Amino acid sequence: MKFSNKLITILGPTAVGKTKFAAQLAYHFDGEIISADSRQVYIGMDIGTGKDYEDYIINDKKIPSHLLDLVKPHCEFNLYLFTQLFKRSYKEILEKEKLPFLVGGTGMYLSSVLQKYTLQKVDFNSPRAKELATLNVDELINILQKTSHKLHNTTDLIEKERIIRAILIAEENEDEPEENLEIDHLVFGLFDEREIIKDRIKNRLKIRLKSGMIEEVEQLLSSGITHEKLNFFGLEYKFISLYLKGELNFNDMNQKLASAIIQFSKRQMTWFRKMEKDGVKINWLKNADIEKAEILISNFIS
């Protein structure tokens, strides 16, 4: 194969410009993008999850993408399914002699590939799941930290349901052997000044609210998605849900949501720094230094 077992990964906090940067590189190196975003898999959740489809278009060419718009919001999607679909997409791209780019900010999804998680299918409606549901968040975090070392970092686990899922995955796969799929990694981390990221988050939120994000949430509710389920889908859906229930006015919703996203971006960076401590080499690029990335990729694939 042209690129053998190569994989370029581009990670970073929200609003740093990962997708556009990856698309430009994929255009230059004849590649395809695999999304590592836990929410962009859902059909009809476009604005709130940041599916900026125009970012995939470079010089009038649409860069092929994978793992977007896979399931309806009513359906189950989890880390196990991501790892299985990632492997399938990765092999398909290599078979076409294209260069695979893994792009996203969901820490656990990225770690599952870069740190070689091996996962079995997990029953999230099992008696064990019901038992865990009776515990409080602190008790759940304590259990998680005592289980699999690869799932210790809880900075990305905001909701109780997510922590329960992480425990079930860890317990089911505690003694599994390492992943058989051998991949040669080159990892880039995009970053910028904190104040710049804050401004981007605030400006992006204003644009999305004006572009129909509230109407998108209303459509989800009318399709049968509950307010409780919206909490699971992340910050934008959680705070707009509170606004639609009348528990927050528009200005409070806007300000609280912006602050929550800024805090989330910090937690993302904490996850990535933890990955580095665990041995993942990340080449950090400020201001999306594409020239430096192109040089490193050229050397990597030569």
Whether the pLDDT of residue 153 is over 50: the answer is no
Query: Containing H/E element for 296?
Result: helix 290-301
Q: How far apart are CA 120 and CA 169, in angstroms?
A: 8
Encoded amino acid at 111, one letter: S
Q: How far apart are CA 173 and CA 177, in angstroms?
A: 9
- % of the chain at pLDDT higher than 90: 73
Region of poorest pLDDT, from 33-42, 145-154, 204-213, 268-277: 145-154
26 token code pair: 């994929």
18-63 pLDDT tens trace = 999 999 999 999 999 999 999 999 999 999 999 999 999 999 999 9
Question: What is the Cα Rg of the chain in Å?
Answer: 19
Q: Give the DSSP letter of residue 38.
A: S
* Extended strands (E) in 70-151: 99-104
> What is the pLDDT, as a whole number, of residue 178?
44
Q: How far apart are CA 213 and CA 184, in angstroms?
A: 39
Residue 215, classed as helix, strand or coil, is helix
On whether the pTM is more than 0.85, the answer is: no
pLDDT higher for 78 or 272?
272
Phi-psi region of 272 (alpha: psi -120 to 50; beta: other; left: phi over 0): alpha
168-226 pLDDT tens trace = 777 776 545 444 678 999 999 999 999 999 999 999 999 999 999 999 999 999 999 99
Question: For 167, how many CA atoms within 13 A lie in the half-sphere containing its CB?
Answer: 24
Mean per-residue pLDDT of the chain? 90
